[in-house]
């Protein structure tokens, strides 16, 4: 899937580009904000428990 910038249609990104940007952003934020990394790990564990118990996450 491709995405174009409204104001300049020459600027195009594909899904892989967005995934790459998100991964890089996550690494930078985790490095600069260690508590954010702990929060993400905690939320992932909560999500895993909820999935095992078949409980929806509000």
Distances (CA, A) of 43 to 2, 19, 29: 30, 20, 16
**Within-domain flag for 58:** no
- Give the percent of the chain with pLDDT over 90: 55
**Within-domain flag for 20:** yes
**Within-domain flag for 28:** yes
- Give the percent of the chain with pLDDT over 70: 100
Domain, as residue range, for 44:
2-53
Q: How many domains does the chain have?
A: 1
Distances (CA, A) of 51 to 42, 43, 55, 57: 14, 12, 6, 9
Quick: pLDDT tens for 34-44.
899 899 899 99
pTM tops 0.95: no
User: Residues of the chain whose pLDDT is less than 70?
Assistant: none
Torsion (CA) 22, 23, 28, 32 in degrees, nearest 10: 100
Beta strands in the chain (DSSP E): 2-5, 8-14
**Within-domain flag for 21:** yes
């Amino acid at each position: 899937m491709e995405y174009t910038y409204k104001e300049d249609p020459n600027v195009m990104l594909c899904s892989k580009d967005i995934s790459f940007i998100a991964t890089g952003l996550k690494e930078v934020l985790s490095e600069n904000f260690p508590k954010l990394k702990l929060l993400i790990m905690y939320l992932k564990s909560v999500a895993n428990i909820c999935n095992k118990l078949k409980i929806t996450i509000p």
